[in-house]
Structure 1
Amino acid sequence: MTVEQVPAFGVRFRVQIDDVELGLFTSCEGLGVQVVMEQRQEGGNNGLVWQLPSRVTYPTIKLTRPLTRDTERVARWIGGLATGVRRCTGQITAMSTDGTEVAKWSLLDVVPVRWTGPSIAPNTNAVLTETVEIAHHGFLAAN
């Protein structure tokens, strides 16, 4: 197995939106694509139902991490929505624990959908986390 084929363990995800570095996240869910299929029946042909691709959809991407100083970068980026929503180009890079790039995804028309901060309660020793959810309109060719 070559170095390029070794699976990544302990992956972190570096997120950049246009020129804004949002920092490292420990969890990334929702990277994917789905082709919606429509079924059409042909009159007189009872042997099959045609499966026709109709549209492509992309789920929202949910990024989670322990609370850090990078939270301020996310707050500034999302705070910019007050002056109007502007679609951006985004990039998510999976990195191993030693900083080696494992994979990279470039996203088209990124828009923040939701930010969830930590639930702070007395007498709790749990790690405080934040979650950022973004929507996009597809993947760009890697550069």
Structure 2
Amino acid sequence: MFNERLKTKITDHLIKEEQIVDDSWNTMKTNILEAAKEALGTRIVGIAAKHKSTSWFTEEVKALANEKRESYLRYRSMKIQTEYRKYVKARNRVNRQIRETKREHWRKFSKNMENDMYGTQRRIWNMLRARKN
């Protein structure tokens, strides 16, 4: 299947003799990559990172972190004291929200541990194994 697609790509996009070597290489490379993509498909890399995400990193924390990042970039580009103060306020808001969210997460986690005596040991081992890496 790949060979057939590659042949059609090469016949559709012929390399001309007057082309520079770099242009010829780019044409050949795109032919190979397109044929491979059509025949084999693509794979999304980093999908497992979604499963490793922390439970306390909520959408609210994410939005505040983006706001902090934007205010930091604004401060870095302008170098004005008022922008720095805005950045510090945003940074403090993010840190406060992270603390509160982590605290709430641990409260829920410990409450679940108290109520579920049978699953507790397994959950603790899984948590420790995850923290080790």
Please classify the TM superposition score into its range, dividing by the shorter chain length: under 0.3
Larger radius of gyration: 2
Which structure has more RCO (C-alpha within 8 Å, separation ≥ 6)? 1
TM-score in terms of structure 1 length: 0.23
Structure with greater helix share of residues: 2
TM-score of the superposition, structure 2-length normalised?
Answer: 0.24
